[in-house]
Structure 1
Amino acid sequence: MSSPVNLLALAAAVSTANAAFQGFNYGATFTNGALKVQSDFEAEFKTAASLEGTDGAFNSARLYTMVQGNTPNDPISAIPAAISTKTSLLLGLWASAGGDAFNNEIEALQKTIDQYCDKLDGLVAGISVGSEDLYRNSPTGIVNGENPGTNPDVLVDYIGRVRETIKGSCLSDAPIGHVDTWTAFANSSNNAVIEALDWLGMDAYAYFEDTVPNGIENGASLFKEALDKTKAAAGGREIWITETGWPVSGKDFGDAVASKENARKFWKDVGCPMFGSTNVWWYTLQDSAPDTPSPSFGVIGSELTTKPLYDLSCDGSGNSDTNTSKPSTKPTEPGSTAESTAESTAEPEPTTESKQVVTGPSESSAESPEAESSQHEAPASSPTLPTTPIVYPIPTHELPTTHEPVPIPTVSYGNSSVIITTRPTPTVSLPTTSGGAGSPSETTQGEQPDDSSGTDESGSAPTDPAAAGSRLNSFGAAAVAVILAAALL
């Protein structure tokens, strides 16, 4: 088995040799639950690579699962689509659906090696084992009604199995990582996972950090704070930015205002300084096909088009009218602190300090194949979940490092106030065997409980994902959970 130390060096070599990967996150379904097929992924990948203002730089795709929907363990059709369009891939194995489902992920990985190895040369950026499993396994994730996560020891085992699967194959040199929130990486209860990795994938959304002033004027500094905390926990491992972005529409969250102007500022302040030098997968190319979620993070709207909703150039040369508009802020009372900083929200040129900020990928689109692809519905026996992003708060205080298990609350977590997220009412009926969805609940502000471990008494995720709650906070993840559940039927 290749050692993590050797593969750490390889990960560094990959980034150096290939500059940096730039792309978007891609879910396995559309927002109405219809499964994507190869032609859908091809159209999306071509659109991303042709976005105005980007010089063709967004030619990488992050995936959440290896399994194509409605199959037990066939490789996801994004893989042949990537081969045909020369799109690089951050492969992903979904790790929060239990052992049987992960066996299918491993089988799909093996089939990918068997079927496509001679065509994947230079196209695999790396392999991610899981996505935000540690966050969902934490007391905060449980109290917030998350779908089940995965214990650190289980993830370590899964990572070892992936290494064994790729050993001696065309993917043997692919660096292996795990994607999670900075709060998960900063908690020493999860150190065993970090030690098994070659790189850490950080998901960070300043828009959701309403425990501190999170207006767009603070977006870059909040992102950098999350990045610094992740770096401090990484033990010298590379940090890849696997999800970040700012919504173009949706409700206010704390001081954060969703708008195209603010999305543009976040792109310029956070994304531009790192594009080309750090591996980033922005969230997201398109999240409103055919239905628009709230908030919506897509850089394009409901139709595949190479004209983005806001200027994606890093030198201000794009055609979007948002490149000269001031960022949006919430109305303030005269004389308030927020009013005094409003003028500072105009787009600044990147400074030396801001160039240390890393950001994530974005999505793209092409001439729309959606009419054709909408015929690819999930089977009636396994209705799909909407892929609407759901808010998750990120505490800003230091996390404790205790390894002791904590009891799972039924309503509240001890005497602490907790954060209950709001979930849109699903438009389809939900199966009891897939990632569950619940009724909407009002969001309340509070502190994260003082630990990040624990699920059920055995320390493992519930057998039925629906029993753990309503939301996968990795925004492409709801579709993955449903596909895996359907495959097991």
Structure 2
Amino acid sequence: MRISSTLLGVATLVAAAEAQLRGFNYGAFFMNNAAKKQVDFEYEFNKAKNLPGTTGWTSARLYTMIQHGTTNTPITAIPAAIKTQTKLLLGLWASAGSANFNNEIVALKSAISTYGTAFTNLVVGISVGSEDLYRITPTGIANRAGPGVQPNNLINYIKQVRMAISGTGLSGKPVGHVDTWTAYVNASNNAVISNLDFVGVDAYPYFQTTMANSIGNANATFYDAYKQTVAAAKGKPVWVTETGWPVSGPKQNQAVANAANARIYWQDVACSLLAAKVNLFWYDLQEAQWGNPSPDFGIFGAGDLGTLSPRYSLGC
């Protein structure tokens, strides 16, 4: 394994968790817009626990508390996590307006009352939003579609969540936010950071087309973003909530998507983060069960997870 010298140089800046979190990101629906059911989440969570060449992938990051296709019913990933004993980084979607966020709060409260400590004991953190500041902050890379959330509104959402979990089994769980490193280094978002218990950062050298972003530079590009996030985090723990390299897709500046490069990125970035005990949620276990996403970041391709082998080695 090649341990990043860049990471070793900044490791002392990072307060690593006592028990490192290793997980993947899990969407609420498939490419055909069909909602994932409890059995689907169970299937994915169990696959993650049995990856060849590695251990400890027992955590899951969610983007929403709401079951896809419903107004405010709790997502079925929760009973799946209880059954498989998968730790949860909860997510509340914040880029769809206040009415939708109120429904996220309803689903959160309902999950607490429905599942009790079987649920709350598995929660390792709560992320209020995902890349919402990125959508409204023109820093470095083109904004994605979506309304985003202004910093003051996001702070109000964070306060809503703290009120909602007060006096419940989730009281005291760390409340954070997930965004791109470009959003965190923008001083206009400093007030958001001040209201967080942890900072979740998403960083993809593949998409950083204004920089030297070949696979040969990807390790340095990632850790430059990571170090800048740590510097902007006001001493808060920094969790890597999304990163990865696609196995297929269009060339992005110097970045070429293929399995060989995805393996290099895993070895250089994932393995070094694991060695440094940084909480990590990789993107992605399986981009699509069927269909042809482009780019495709999945460790596994389309098809039945139970019959598939990884597209590249996961050993360190």
What TM-score results when the alignment is normalised by the length of structure 1? Answer: 0.59
Inter-partner Cα distance in structure 1 for 2:60 and 2:270: 16
Q: Classify 1:275/1:22 alpha carbon distance in 2 versus 1 (closer, same or farther; 3 Å).
A: same
Does the C-alpha gap of structure 1 residues 162 and 300 become closer, same or farther in structure 2, counting only changes over 3 Å?
same
Whole-Å separation in 2 of the counterparts to 1:85 and 1:255:
40
Using the TM superposition, give the Cα deviation of residue 144 of structure 1 relative to its aligned residue in structure 2, in angstroms: 4.6
Q: Structure 2: how far apart are the matches of 1:123 and 1:186? A: 31
Higher alpha-carbon deviation: 111-120 or 153-162: 111-120
CA gap 1:114/1:124 in 2 versus in 1, 3 angstroms: same
Output aligned runs, 1:21-420, within 5 Å.
21-55=21-55, 57-120=56-119, 122-139=121-138, 144=143, 146-275=145-274, 277-303=277-303, 304-305=305-306, 307-314=309-316
SS of 1:23's equivalent in the other structure is: strand
Gaps of 5+ in 2: 1-14
Shift, 1:201, TM fit:
0.4
Cα RMSD between the aligned structures? 1.6
What do the CA deviations read for 1:14-59 (whole angstroms, capped 9, x no partner)? x21xx2110100001111111101000000111111111113x111
CA distance in structure 2 between the partners assigned to 1:201 and 1:158 by the alignment: 16
Write the deviation string for residues 404-436 of structure 1: whole angstroms up to 9, x where unpaired.
xxxxxxxxxxxxxxxxxxxxxxxxxxxxxxxxx
Q: Distance in 2 between matches of 1:141 and 1:62?
A: 26
Give the CA deviation at 1:278.
1.1
Query: Structure 1 residues 154 and 77, CA, compared in 2 at 3 Å: closer, same or farther?
Result: same
Equivalent residue letter for 2:45? F
Q: For the Cα contact (< 8 Å) 1:136–1:142, is it kept in 2?
A: no
C-alpha separation in 2, matches of 1:106 and 1:34: 23
Give the superposition deviation at 1:122: 3.7
* Residue matched to 2:6: none
Residue number in structure 1 paired with 2:9: none
Report the residue type matching 1:196 in the other structure: N
Point out where structure 1 has 5 or more consecutive residues left out of the alignment.
Answer: 1-11, 315-489
Residue type at the aligned position of 2:107 = A
Q: Secondary structure at the residue paired with 2:189?
A: helix
Cα distance, 1:120 vs. partner? 2.5
Residues 67 and 76 in structure 1, CA contact (< 8 A), matched pair in contact too: yes
Alignment check: 8 A CA contact 1:249 1:297 kept:
yes
Distance 2:188 2:27 in 1: 30
| Contact 2:141 2:208 (8 Å CA) reproduced | no
Q: Alpha carbons of 1:222 and 1:300: their partners in 2 closer, same or farther (altered >3 Å)?
A: same
Which is greater in Rg? 1
**Is the 8 Å Cα contact of residues 51 and 307 (structure 1) preserved in structure 2?**
no
Provide TM-score, normalisation by structure 2: 0.91
The letter for the 1-side match of 2:203 is: A
Q: What letter matches 2:37 in structure 1?
A: V
Residues 141, 29 of structure 1: CA spacing in aligned structure 2 closer, same or farther, 3 A cutoff?
Answer: farther
Q: Using the alignment, how far apart are the partners of 1:146 and 1:218 within structure 2?
A: 28
Q: Distance in 1 between matches of 2:144 and 2:67?
A: 27
Per the alignment, in what secondary structure is the counterpart of residue 201 of structure 1? strand
**Aligned with 1:273: secondary structure?**
helix
Higher helix share: 2
**Structure 1 position 145, deviation (Å):** 6.0
| SS class of match (2:176) | strand
Q: In the alignment, residue 308 of structure 1 is paired with which amino acid? A: P
Separation in 2, partners of 1:79, 1:61: 10
Take 1:94 and 1:213, find their aligned partners in 2: how far apart are those partners? 32
Shift of 1:116: 1.4
1: distance between equivalents of 2:278 and 2:133? 24
Q: Which has the higher contact order (CA 8 A, sep 6+)?
A: 1
State the one-letter code of the partner of 2:72.
Answer: N
Q: Matched residue pairs, number?
A: 299
Q: Work out the CA distance in 2 between the residues paired with 1:96 and 1:49.
A: 31
Distance 2:29 2:200 in 1: 22
Query: Hey, what's the Cα distance between the residues in 2 that align with 1:222 and 1:140?
Result: 16
